[in-house]
Amino acid sequence: MTESSDLRMTSIPLNAGARHMPALGFGTLIPDLAITITATREALEAGFRHFDCAERYRNEREVGDALRAGLAAAGIAREDIFITTKLWNTNHRPERVAPAFEASLDRLGLKYLDLYLIHTPFAFQPGDEQDPRDQNGNVLYDRGVTLLETWSAMESLADRGRCRAIGLSDITLRELLPIYESARIKPAVIQVEAHPYLPETELLEFCEEKDIAFLAFAPLGHGIRPGPLEDPVILAIAARVGKTPAQVLLAWAVQRGTALLTTPTTAARARENLNISTLPEDAFDAINRIQTRQRFNEVVKTGSPGFIPQGR
């Protein structure tokens, strides 16, 4: 368990050399392009130094523009921020990996990436259509490539030095094991959904043992209500420690040794989500004892992204 009382500056060492990843990351899965620009800029101004992007989010250009303008205005160097993007499912064929990487770099306006992830372990039919489907609406998967072949192409990218670390997203322990065992370059990071309703304890323990950084997405349960933000245990701890439910959930995530991605879309929430500090041990333990189990995003099962609509 992390012991710092101010968790905001926590960073996680990566197995790829002497690099670190800021534990508090800002996610750019924001459908509206104008909000993408303002939210990214406000996150940088609030103090976020870790930004998570994806080819699939179709807004790398806007994120890149917002970051460039924000860095210049604040006099922050590129080296002082950590930027990730992800290879989409339609680009798993090895010959498509480097062009997809270059296209992302070009849209982001960057010379290098801190981290490049395989977005999901599912290969879709290669091509420009990000969501290829048959006449019945079924996803068209690509059976002509294995995840290990895609991983080898990622290793070649890492060899060339323009992405400093590589990893996987939306991966289960069962899928991660064979990659970990065969990889020449071990995954530095995995990114999966995690919060008190989906703690992924077994996967986290494996990552701790193998020196893989665990990066939690949807740490607030994607803001879905009912969900962790309204859980009675979280509400009671928030009232007791004088923090908001979001701050309690984010503190718990960092305290258990994970990095996280959150997506505040206002400046006030960006500041709120950075202002987190260590929870008392009994509060931390009480969150670990929450029994509710709920996954909010099915991408790990199909490769098709999307949070599951919830009724109130």
Ligand X SMILES: NC(=O)c1ccc[n+]([C@@H]2O[C@H](COP(=O)([O-])OP(=O)(O)OC[C@H]3O[C@@H](n4cnc5c(N)ncnc54)[C@H](OP(=O)(O)O)[C@@H]3O)[C@@H](O)[C@H]2O)c1
Which residues carry out catalysis?
57
Q: Is 27 in the site for ligand X (CB under 6 A)?
A: yes
Rank residues 135 and 241 by Cβ distance to ligand X and give the closer one: 241
Q: Which stretch binds ligand X (CB under 6 A): 23-31, 140-148, 180-188, 203-211?
A: 23-31
Q: Is 89 in the site for ligand X (CB under 6 A)?
A: no
Size of the site for ligand X (CB under 6 A): 29
> Measured between alpha carbons, how far is 190 from 69 in angstroms, rounded to an integer?
29
Q: Is 272 in the site for ligand X (CB under 6 A)?
A: yes
Contact characters 116-135, ligand X, x per CB under 6 A: --------------------
280: preceding bond cis by omega (within 30 degrees): no
CA angle 28, 92, 164 (to 5 degrees): 60
> Measured between alpha carbons, how far is 110 from 89 in angstroms, rounded to an integer?
22
Nearest to 189 by CA among 88, 93, 116: 116
Residue 18 CB, nearest approach to ligand X (Å): 25
Residue 221 CB, nearest approach to ligand X (Å): 6
Residue 75 CB, nearest approach to ligand X (Å): 26
Q: Which stretch binds ligand X (CB under 6 A): 125-133, 135-143, 235-243, 264-272?
A: 264-272
> Measured between alpha carbons, how far is 215 from 219 in angstroms, rounded to an integer?
10
β-pairing, 20-22 with 166-169?
Answer: unpaired
Q: How far is CA 222 from CA 7, 41, 45, 197, 236, in A?
A: 21, 21, 22, 12, 20
β-pairing, 82-87 with 115-118?
Answer: parallel
The binder of ligand X chosen from 60, 65, 170, 200 (CB under 6 A):
170
Within residues 217-246, the interface with ligand X by CB under 6 A covers: 217-223, 229, 244, 246
Q: Which stretch binds ligand X (CB under 6 A): 15-23, 63-71, 179-187, 211-219?
A: 211-219
Residue 265 CB, nearest approach to ligand X (Å): 4
Q: CB neighbours of 85 closer than 8 A, spacing ≥ 6? A: 52, 53, 54, 55, 60, 104, 108, 113, 116, 117
Q: Is 50 in the site for ligand X (CB under 6 A)?
A: no
CA angle 98, 100, 105 (to 5 degrees): 95
Q: How many CA atoms lie within 13 A of 264 on its CB side?
A: 24
Within residues 274-303, the interface with ligand X by CB under 6 A covers: 297, 299
Q: Which stretch binds ligand X (CB under 6 A): 26-34, 66-74, 122-130, 148-156?
A: 26-34
Q: How many CA atoms lie within 13 A of 254 on its CB side?
A: 29
Rank residues 34 and 72 by Cβ distance to ligand X and give the closer one: 34
Rank residues 8 and 269 by Cβ distance to ligand X and give the closer one: 269
Q: Which stretch binds ligand X (CB under 6 A): 71-79, 149-157, 201-209, 260-268?
A: 260-268
CB atoms within 10 A of CB 197: 18
> Measured between alpha carbons, how far is 277 from 25 in angstroms, rounded to an integer?
16
The binder of ligand X chosen from 265, 275, 294, 304 (CB under 6 A):
265
Q: Which residues bind ligand X (CB under 6 A)?
A: 27-29, 52, 169-170, 191, 217-223, 229, 244, 246, 261-266, 269, 272-273, 297, 299, 305
